[in-house]
Amino acid sequence: MSSPGLPQRDHSEPRRYPFGANAGLDLHPLYRHLQEHEPLSLVRMPYGEAAWLITRYEDVKTVLGDPRFSRTEASRHDQPRVTADPLPLGLLDMDPPEHTRLRRLVAKAFTTGSVESLRPRTEQIAAGLIAAMIDAGPPADLVEMFARRLPMTVICELLGMPYDDQGEFAGWVNEATSAQVSPEERADALARQSAYIAGLIAQRRQQPADDLLGRLVLARDDDDRLSEDELNFLSMQLLAAGFETTASQIADFVYLLLTSPQRYAMLRDRPELIPDAVEELLRFSPLVASAAIVRYATHDVELSGGTVKKGQAVLTFAPAANRDPAVFDDPEALDLTRHDVPHLSFGHGVHLCIGARLARMELQVALSALTTALPGLRLAVGADAVTWKPSVLVRGPAALPVSWQPAQNQYLASLPALVPARRPPRSR
């Protein structure tokens, strides 16, 4: 993300944003230029009003954590966006106290203890997926056979949803976040998701279950802590968020490791590095396609680049903040031995990702399982031949063809017999 020699410009005129098509996991060089020379930069997205783009680490933390920047306020404006229709973001569309009330209903499922209790089962799921890849033989699409299925199966089991439906649901999520669908197609995909979740909720009322969805239904029916609409969209968001982002991160991480094979070999030979390596990969890998979640200032707020006035829109771009040289030494280097990485990839403040612990655990398990079971994993195509999803929200390979040398696999043989995932009745 080196700074280009850019010509002088009229700062009163907004730049067009996003700056260009995403090229894999590279950041547009303009981000670094703005970070150094124009930390409060006026931009205009394809739709909506102009906004300030924030790229410095401390400024991004301020905007994410300061209650003077509001998400609820966005609904009163023609908010800047990349799609003609504003994308529904659930909890991310809320401010306290409503945000706090809903978040508390699901927080217990994502505590450190709760997540760690899921690790052995997650390891079994990962091993089963790798065993299926080995049985099918190389080459294989790591996205389809592993990266998507691991987090989807885990979140389905956590919520108590039929994982046999995961392909169907994943299709709806992809439609809802694609840059290549019309507002009508996006609305239809969201409506189908909502109807699917409504069917599962009706099923829980007939057949109560001690899973996260069942507990949310009780919170609605017995404690009156949720409206029916809140129950539906919260369930839908948990299922979608628990799958799409982690699936993309697994694929992004493996792409970064295999395009420099010495990195993959390092984690294979030094598995104790994996927890820190996951944090460094989270810092370095730009998951989000562009700044997309707008906040509005409810007061005048001073940032390093100047004053954001009351009523003005602000966009933060965490991938740029994660490469701020004021915070990270040699930020353009992917250093898998880096310690104590205070990245902002899961956000900050009240909107810190509620599933961050679960995502970390799944990413650690994924890299550990792959490097142990498939020590010779490699790309089956050139890096330039990897295709990328046309998503307006997250970056990730559409497919990641990989290959490996057949081997006697002591790792898989040493695991206990795989326990089949729960299969709740399909809601039809």
Is 13 in contact with 41 (CB distance < 8 Å)? no
Residue 383: its pLDDT value, please?
95
Tokens of 27: 């950041």
DSSP collapsed to 3 states, the chain: CCCCCCCCCCCCCCEECCCCCCCCCCCCCHHHHHHHHCCEEEEECCECCCEEEECCHHHHHHHHHCCCEECHHHHHCCCCECCCCCCCCHHHHCCCCHHHHHHHHHHHHHCHHHHHHHHHHHHHHHHHHHHHHHHHCCCEEHHHHHHCHHHHHHHHHHHCCCHHHHHHHHHHHHHHHECCCCHHHHHHHHHHHHHHHHHHHHHHHHCCCCCHHHHHHHHHHCCCCCCHHHHHHHHHHHHHHHHHHHHHHHHHHHHHHHCCHHHHHHHHHCHHHHHHHHHHHHHHCCCECCCCCEEEECCCEEECCEEECCCCEEEECHHHHCCCCCCCCCCCCCCCCCCCCCCCCCCCHHHCCCCHHHHHHHHHHHHHHHHHHCCCCEECCCHHHCCECCECCECCECCCEEECCCCCCHHHHHCCCCCCCCCCCCCC
β-bridge partners, 315: 53, 294
Residue 128: its pLDDT value, please?
94
Place of tokens 């997205």: 45
CA dist., res. 303 & res. 308, Å (int): 7
CA dist., res. 153 & res. 127, Å (int): 13
Tokens of 17: 């944003």
pLDDT tens for the chain, 428 residues long, are 433 333 344 456 899 999 987 778 999 999 999 999 999 999 999 999 999 999 999 999 999 999 999 988 888 899 999 888 777 666 777 778 887 888 887 888 788 998 999 999 999 999 999 999 999 999 999 999 999 999 999 998 888 888 777 777 777 777 776 666 777 887 888 888 888 888 888 888 888 888 888 888 887 766 657 788 888 878 888 877 778 899 999 999 999 999 999 999 999 999 999 999 999 999 999 999 899 899 999 999 999 999 999 999 999 999 999 999 999 999 999 999 999 999 999 999 888 888 999 999 999 999 999 999 999 999 999 999 999 987 778 899 999 999 998 765 666 666 554 444 444 444 43
Tokens of 160: 């108590």
What spatial distance separates the first Cα and last Cα of the chain, rounded to whole Å?
A: 49
Residue 78: its pLDDT value, please?
92
Place of tokens 């450190």: 112
How many angstroms separate the Cα of 189 from the Cα of each of 176, 196, 233, 313? 6, 11, 14, 29
Is 233 in contact with 88 (CB distance < 8 Å)? yes
Tokens of 95: 């401010």
Place of tokens 């330039």: 384
Tokens of 164: 């046999």
Residue 339: its pLDDT value, please?
93
Please list, in sequence order, all residues whose beta carbon lies within 8 angstroms of the beta carbon of residue 169, skipping any fewer than 6 positions away. 152, 193, 196, 239, 240, 243
CA dist., res. 54 & res. 67, Å (int): 17
- Which domains does the chain possess? 15-414 (1.10.630.10)
Phi/psi region, residue 224 (left: phi>0; alpha: psi -120 to 50; beta: rest), is left
Tokens of 45: 């997205």
Q: CA Rg, the chain, in Å?
A: 22
Is 303 in contact with 40 (CB distance < 8 Å)? yes
Residue 418: its pLDDT value, please?
45
Residue 423: its pLDDT value, please?
40
CA dist., res. 307 & res. 313, Å (int): 12
Residue 46: its pLDDT value, please?
92
Is 325 in contact with 345 (CB distance < 8 Å)? no
Residue 191: its pLDDT value, please?
86
